[in-house]
Amino acid sequence: MFAYVLKRVAMTIPVMGVVALFVFALLRLAPGDPAAVIAGDYATAEDVARIREQLGLSEPLFVQFFTWVWSLLQGDLGTSIFSGKPVIELIGQRIEPTMLLALTTIIFSILVAVPLGTIAAFRAGSLVDRFVMLFSVGGFSVPVFVLGYILIYVFSLNLRWLPVQGYRSPFTEGIGPFLSYITLPTLTLSVIFIALIARMTRASVIEVLEEDYIRTARAKGQSELKVLMRHALRNAAVPIVTVIGIGIALLIGGVVVTESVYNIPGLGRLVLDAVLARDYPIIQGLILFFSFIYILLNLLIDLTYTFLDPRIRY
């Protein structure tokens, strides 16, 4: 087991390397002088020179890469061009709303999607199933931000049940305000995630229900509900958990958009502000940070397979 964990962790190193290389290449391979691009249209020659110096763009490429990777390994994600603050510090300031929004979304989505998908699979072809499938294909079709505005329009502007925009921290301002502000963003972001998980749950449970051991459980005289809970869902878990892991990428993209719609001061907003300001070290740092989170979560998910399926032993 320990050897497996070690091996699995080691396997993420080349993936991280590819990410780093890609992010590095992005700036250097862009057409034109990257320093000039970052400096923007109204920059003076001194500005461009300063940025070139700051990013180390005058060194040979491989020297730039290894200096950069070396500082990454020491936890240095770079320094913002405009505020002069370390990127890691900026991330620290903005991470709370993003993390909490992602967390509420994942929890809510799983709680809704797994039962929905299971019921749809059990009653495949029924009205419930068709509704779930329709919801799921619809969830993939409506853009996140349109959904956000529809929810704001209905629940905030017309019904006035919930605040329009903004964020309240549960740690400093209490759990009540937090919930009232986080509800609509969570709902908005959950729709596509629910669609994804419900769909995979349904497909996976339908497949498992065809298995011989389900027939064995019925031959024992087990009730249908218990067949579903004890035998089907447990065996369908691995693909469901896998799709949740893959969905993290979707979630990260959705967070950026949702934060923009609801005016939440999180990492998504940090990205967009950085894009407007062409503060490239921040963009670069955030891409690396999100990729790291994605790889880390998927590593953890891989390790849960051992608990979900005793056949997976390494």
Segment 103-162, which members bind other proteins (CB under 8 A)? 133, 137-138, 140-146, 149-150, 152-153, 157
Shortest CA distance to 47 belongs to which of 60, 61, 26, 33?
33
Q: Considering the complex, what minimum distance in angstroms separates the CB of residue 183 from other proteins?
A: 19
| Residue 43 in contact with other proteins, rule: CB under 8 A | no
* Region binding other proteins by CB under 8 A among candidate stretches 55-63, 96-104, 107-115, 212-220: 212-220
| Residue 179 in contact with other proteins, rule: CB under 8 A | no
- Complex with other proteins: residue 12 or 179, whichever CB lies closer: 12
| Residue 203 in contact with other proteins, rule: CB under 8 A | yes
- Complex with other proteins: residue 59 or 211, whichever CB lies closer: 211
- Complex with other proteins: residue 119 or 286, whichever CB lies closer: 286
Task: Give me the torsion for CA of 252, 256, 262, 263, rounded to 10°.
Answer: 130
Q: Considering the complex, what minimum distance in angstroms separates the CB of residue 168 from other proteins?
A: 21
* Region binding other proteins by CB under 8 A among candidate stretches 44-52, 98-106, 107-115, 227-235: 227-235
Rule CB under 8 A: which of 260-299 touch other proteins? 260, 271-272, 275-276, 278, 280, 283-284, 286-287, 290-291, 294-295, 298
Q: Considering the complex, what minimum distance in angstroms separates the CB of residue 171 from other proteins?
A: 26
Rounded to an integer, what is the distance from CA 163 to the centroid of its chain?
Answer: 25
- Complex with other proteins: residue 178 or 266, whichever CB lies closer: 266
- Complex with other proteins: residue 223 or 304, whichever CB lies closer: 223
- Complex with other proteins: residue 119 or 192, whichever CB lies closer: 192
> Binding residue for other proteins (CB under 8 A) from 24, 27, 104, 194?
27
Rule CB under 8 A: which of 237-266 touch other proteins? 239, 246, 249, 252-253, 256-257, 260
Q: Considering the complex, what minimum distance in angstroms separates the CB of residue 193 from other proteins?
A: 13
Rule CB under 8 A: which of 49-88 touch other proteins? none
- Complex with other proteins: residue 82 or 171, whichever CB lies closer: 82
Instruction: Tally Cβ neighbours within 10 Å of residue 94.
Output: 21
Please tell me the distance from the alpha carbon of residue 158 to that of residue 69, in angstroms, as a whole number.
Answer: 52
Residue 263 tokens read as 């005016």
Q: What is the enclosing helix (H) or strand (E) of 114? A: helix 87-122
**How many residues at the interface with other proteins, by CB under 8 A?**
78
Task: Give me the torsion for CA of 293, 294, 300, 303, rounded to 10°.
Answer: -150
Burial letters for 207-237: b for 16+ Cβ neighbours within 10 Å, e otherwise?
A: ebbeeeebeebeeeeeeeeebbeebbbebbb
Please tell me the distance from the alpha carbon of residue 201 to that of residue 251, in angstroms, as a whole number.
Answer: 18
* Region binding other proteins by CB under 8 A among candidate stretches 15-23, 65-73, 86-94, 97-105: 15-23
- Complex with other proteins: residue 170 or 273, whichever CB lies closer: 273
Length of the chain as a residue count: 314
Which residues does 268 contact at the CB level (< 8 Å), separation at least 6?
98, 255, 256, 257, 258, 259, 260
The angle subtended at Cα 172 by Cα 166 and Cα 177, nearest 5°, is 45
Q: Considering the complex, what minimum distance in angstroms separates the CB of residue 93 from other proteins?
A: 19
Contact by Cβ (8 Å): 52, 29: no
Contact by Cβ (8 Å): 87, 79: yes
